[in-house]
Amino acid sequence: MKTAYLLATVALGVSVLPACLMAAENAEKLPPAKVAARKAVDKITVDGKLDEKSWQQAERLPIDVIHAQNTRTEAAGTGRMTWDDENFYISFDVLDSDVQGRGDSRDKADIVPPQDVIEVFIDIDNDPEHFFELHVNPLNGFNDVFIVRPRKDSPLFRRVNYGLMFINGWDMASYSTAVQVNGTLNNAGDKDKGWTVEMQLPFASLMLPLGQKQPRIGEAWRVQLVVQNGGAKDRYMEWSPSQETWFHHGIDTWGRVEFGE
């Protein structure tokens, strides 16, 4: 699955590179997105419904940037974030008139068009050298991968393709996700409204520094939220303007998420 994802991304990079260069030349760069993630005020039940007060109070983040083109357009949906003493929570409200999904188990969420999927990239220590990539699809299939991006002066850099090492055998120790589809899944004959995703990511599974059990107040992580609509013209839509052909190479342009009370 992740090999297919890597190859699909390479193909995408070749096809959109001229547009990326033109956008960079003709438009002022959009700044990275920022959000203050409020601490949860009630217990969150991971059911995909997003009806808790904590979600209602969380800022809605428009996922409205066409990937690598530095251009905003109509949003593909919104994202939200909150946290408690043990978990980081991320949710998506995705707008989609034809919800498609294939693969309903661990590491089996299909990301090849016309399938739909959301993607989350997380860099907890604000460096470009290692980060998480997570996928959830409308069947609640879940992919997780840990990625190492060695420095160019590292011997490891000369041993990996595209400057990245995808550790596909890594599995997040614990997590919880849920999906609600507002429409009929895998039925192109009717018109859907979209789908929601709710993710619970325990801090214990996110490799915080030794001895640290949760982010400190005021601490900031780099996070990117992506909606991949397999049937849309602009297949990849993102929260923070990456301006890079690959999401994996634009880490310094991912959104800044500051943990607050």
Cα-Cα-Cα-Cα dihedral sign, residues 19, 120, 2, 114: negative
The number of distinct structural domains making up the chain is 1
pLDDT at 11: 31
Please answer whether residues 116 and 137 qualify as being in contact, where contact means their C-beta atoms are separated by less than 8 angstroms. yes
pLDDT at 27: 54
Its pTM stands at: 0.87
pLDDT at 113: 92
Please answer whether residues 67 and 238 qualify as being in contact, where contact means their C-beta atoms are separated by less than 8 angstroms. yes
Q: Counting every residue, how long is the chain? A: 261
* Omega cis (within 30) before 114: yes
pLDDT along the chain (261 residues), means of 10: 35 35 56 97 98 98 94 97 98 98 95 96 89 97 92 80 85 97 96 98 95 96 97 95 84 95 87
Rounded Cα–Cα distance for residues 189 and 91 (Å) = 28
pLDDT at 132: 96
Rounded Cα–Cα distance for residues 3 and 177 (Å) = 23
- CA-closest candidate to residue 66, choices 224, 232, 234: 234
What is the bridge-based pairing of β-strands 77-83 and 65-66?
A: unpaired
Long-range contacts of 40-43 (CB under 8 A, 24+ apart): 40/82, 40/83, 40/84, 40/89
- CATH number of the domain where residue 99 is located: 2.60.40.1190
Range of the domain at 66: 2-259
